[in-house]
């Protein structure tokens, strides 16, 4: 029997380099974010001179280029000066103060003991290492509002006072999808942080179209993409609040559909296969961005009409997912409109959890 991968390699294709359509791809040029790039760069300019930078708090919807823009500016800063040390932390993956401190330690090539060390001791270790390194840490806390749910936002207070308490000129960049995130901050934390506030607006139809054209130029073979596909992807992105990530992923899925059919041109029909026509429009695309843990939760929920919360946690624990972790991801999936929960009161309180297919009475 011939090798199946050898046979696939011999088939026709549409992609030149699919990497340009991946969610984690960082382009060399960020169109329509020049103003935001300059604002962030201005706030961090002091770090290039070995001085304390300004803290920044960025708010904007999903797919508006917040994370991409921050990483772009930090890469430019590293290229220009070796005086700073960017540290990127996703707060969904590191949702406690200790987890964040541990992530900072790892970025400094310092391993903290897994047990037997207090938060204050960990801070002291980090301070000692930073002073030896003589670099200015710039800590990026992506999806920072995740910290508010469990009362872990005090880490913002600790980081913002690093200069006052330890003479470390540390900078903090907070990124949030929630427009009320800054307002929810404790007054003392907000005062200590004193951030430069930025809002990333949703991309317009024309902006999404130019982004897709630029990406497709490098992602697809010459003549392999029908421009109507780009127009439709841009329109779908606008429907989803100007979400460029969503539009780019739709384009990638259309290309994959064309390749499965062994076509040399991506047509609108290939795109339509990836756009859900149900009233829960957008959920299928969201599934493409889920983590392994989130997919396990989705798979379990798909097996029943609904789960009681306690039952779901037991099943997830059998798969090595702790209840605390499960709670965080369930909240995230509900915020993204993928699952629904409902509080039930009887002899006690519990929640019903189910996949969002239709409204449940």
From the CA atom positions of the chain, what is the Rg in Å?
A: 23
Q: What is the pLDDT of residue 12?
A: 64
Q: What is the pLDDT of residue 291?
A: 73
Q: What is the pLDDT of residue 227?
A: 92
Give pLDDT tens digits for 289-318. Answer: 677 788 888 888 888 888 988 899 888 888
Please say if the pLDDT value at position 286 is more than 80.
Answer: no
pLDDT band, residue 288 (cuts 50/70/90): low
Phi-psi category of residue 262: left, alpha or beta, with phi > 0 → left and psi -120 to 50 → alpha: left
* SS3 of residue 139 by DSSP: strand
Domains of the chain: 4-21+204-284 (1.10.8.60), 34-200 (3.40.50.300), 291-355 (1.10.10.10)
Give pLDDT tens digits for 195-237. Answer: 999 999 999 999 999 999 999 999 999 999 999 999 999 999 9
pLDDT band, residue 359 (cuts 50/70/90): very low
**End-to-end Cα spacing for the chain:** 54
Q: What is the pLDDT of residue 349?
A: 75
Neighbours of 73 (CB within 10 A): 25
Give pLDDT tens digits for 45-77. Answer: 999 988 999 999 999 988 999 999 999 999 999
pLDDT band, residue 255 (cuts 50/70/90): very high
**Cα-to-chain-centroid distance, residue 285:** 15
Q: Contact 179/62 with Cβ under 8 angstroms?
A: no
DSSP label of 91: T
For 56, phi and psi rounded to 5 degrees? -135, 140
Q: Taking all residues of the chain, what is their mean pLDDT, rounded to a whole number?
A: 87
């Amino acid at each position: 029997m011939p090798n199946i991968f050898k046979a696939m390699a011999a088939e026709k294709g549409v992609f030149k380099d699919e990497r340009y359509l991946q969610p984690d791809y960082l382009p060399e040029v960020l169109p329509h974010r020049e103003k935001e790039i300059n604002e962030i760069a201005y706030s961090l300019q002091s770090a290039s001179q070995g001085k304390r930078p300004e803290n920044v708090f960025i708010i904007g919807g999903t797919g508006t280029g917040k994370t991409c823009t921050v990483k772009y500016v930090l890469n430019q800063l590293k290229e220009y000066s070796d005086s700073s040390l960017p540290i990127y932390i996703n707060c969904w993956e590191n949702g406690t103060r200790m987890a964040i401190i541990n992530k900072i330690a790892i970025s400094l090539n310092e391993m903290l003991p897994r047990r037997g060390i207090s938060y204050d001791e960990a801070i002291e270790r980090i301070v000692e290492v930073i002073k030896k390194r003589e670099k200015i840490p710039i800590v990026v806390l992506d999806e920072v509002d995740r910290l508010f749910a469990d009362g872990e936002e005090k880490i913002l207070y600790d980081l913002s006072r690093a200069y006052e308490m330890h003479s470390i000129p540390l900078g903090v960049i907070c990124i949030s999808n929630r427009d009320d995130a800054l307002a929810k901050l404790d007054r003392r934390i907000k005062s200590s942080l004193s951030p430069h506030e930025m809002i990333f607006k949703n991309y317009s139809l024309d902006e999404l179209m130019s982004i897709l054209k630029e990406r497709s130029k490098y992602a697809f073979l010459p003549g392999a993409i029908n421009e109507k596909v780009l127009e439709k992807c841009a329109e779908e992105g606008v429907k989803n609040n100007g979400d460029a990530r969503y539009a780019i992923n739709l384009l990638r899925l259309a290309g994959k559909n064309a390749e499965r059919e062994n076509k040399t041109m991506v047509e609108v029909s290939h795109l339509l296969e990836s756009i859900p026509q149900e009233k829960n429009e957008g959920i299928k695309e969201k599934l493409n961005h889920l983590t392994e843990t989130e997919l396990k939760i989705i798979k379990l929920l798909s097996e029943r009409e609904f789960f009681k919360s306690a039952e779901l946690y037991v099943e997830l624990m059998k798969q090595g997912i702790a209840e605390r972790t499960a709670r965080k991801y369930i909240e995230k999936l509900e915020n993204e409109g993928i699952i629904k929960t409902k509080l039930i009161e009887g002899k006690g309180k519990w929640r019903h959890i189910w996949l969002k297919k239709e409204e449940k009475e």
